[in-house]
């Protein structure tokens, strides 16, 4: 991000997305389908379980966010290719350590990974692209990106219940990223996606 220290968990998430994009690109060039990651047993055991993080669901989320941004007056660049993240057990040691640190404990890490990396951080990355496109010099842009993400997710079917679950999960986390997201979650009933975009363009 321009002029700002990027949150550790967002850097880690971007690295995972880059790996997914490269894998998808290579499959497109060779005419093969992206490999299915199967069920992540560690994440599937979470109570409540996180929303689905399969390729089809990620694509629907991506395409819907891009459409919402376009309707709000900010067409985004070409849609990034997405494929499911690696299973939690398959993460490299530094990535797993980052997730455990953010979750507050090793025991909470798989559920945190499923909810954050498999659900929240996908539209969060698109919100970063939206801010870049609409007003890359906006002050407090990290908070704006979280507000946009929460507003978008709140408007989806089952969004309110899912955001409540995420809020409970983040309460156990550590660090400024979690605190900032919790602030956006606490304001979710007053956050409106189109109004946030309109304010951003001024």
Per the rule left: phi > 0, alpha: psi between -120 and 50, beta: everything else, 133 is alpha
pTM confidence score: 0.81
Cis amide leading into 15 (omega within 30):
no
Cβ neighbours of residue 81 under 8 Å, at least 6 residues apart? Answer: 20, 21, 24, 25, 28
> Mean of the pLDDT values across residues 96-104?
90
**With bands split at pLDDT 50, 70 and 90, how would you rate the model's confidence at 56?**
confident
- Report the distance separating Cα 181 and Cα 32, nearest Å: 38
Half-sphere exposure of 122 (CA within 13 A, CB side): 31
Alpha carbon 184 to its chain centroid, in Å, reads 14
Q: What pLDDT shows up at residue 144? A: 96
Q: Residue 200 in contact with residue 139, Cβ under 8 Å?
A: no
pLDDT in tens, 107-128: 999 999 999 988 999 999 999 9
pLDDT in tens, 19-42: 444 333 334 444 444 444 456 888
Closest CA to 8 of 194, 173, 161: 173
Q: List the structure tokens of 69.
A: 């941004």
């Amino acid at each position: 991000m321009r002029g700002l220290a990027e949150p550790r968990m967002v850097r880690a998430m971007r690295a995972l997305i880059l790996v997914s994009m490269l894998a998808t690109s290579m499959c497109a060039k060779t005419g093969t389908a992206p490999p299915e990651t199967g069920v992540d047993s560690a994440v599937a055991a979470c109570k409540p379980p996180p929303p689905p993080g399969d390729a089809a669901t990620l694509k629907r989320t991506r395409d819907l966010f891009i459409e919402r941004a376009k309707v709000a007056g900010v067409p985004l660049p070409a849609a990034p290719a997405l494929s499911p993240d690696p299973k939690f057990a398959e993460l490299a040691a530094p990535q797993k350590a980052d997730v455990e640190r953010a979750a507050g404990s090793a025991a909470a890490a798989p559920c945190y990974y499923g909810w954050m990396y498999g659900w929240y951080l996908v539209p969060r990355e698109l919100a970063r692209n939206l801010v870049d496109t609409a007003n890359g010099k906006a002050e407090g842009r990290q908070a704006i990106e979280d507000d946009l993400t929460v507003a978008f997710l709140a408007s989806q079917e089952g969004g309110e219940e899912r955001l409540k679950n995420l809020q409970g999960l983040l309460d156990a986390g550590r660090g400024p990223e979690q605190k900032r997201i919790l602030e956006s979650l606490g304001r979710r009933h007053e956050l409106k996606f189109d109004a946030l975009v309109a304010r951003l363009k001024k």
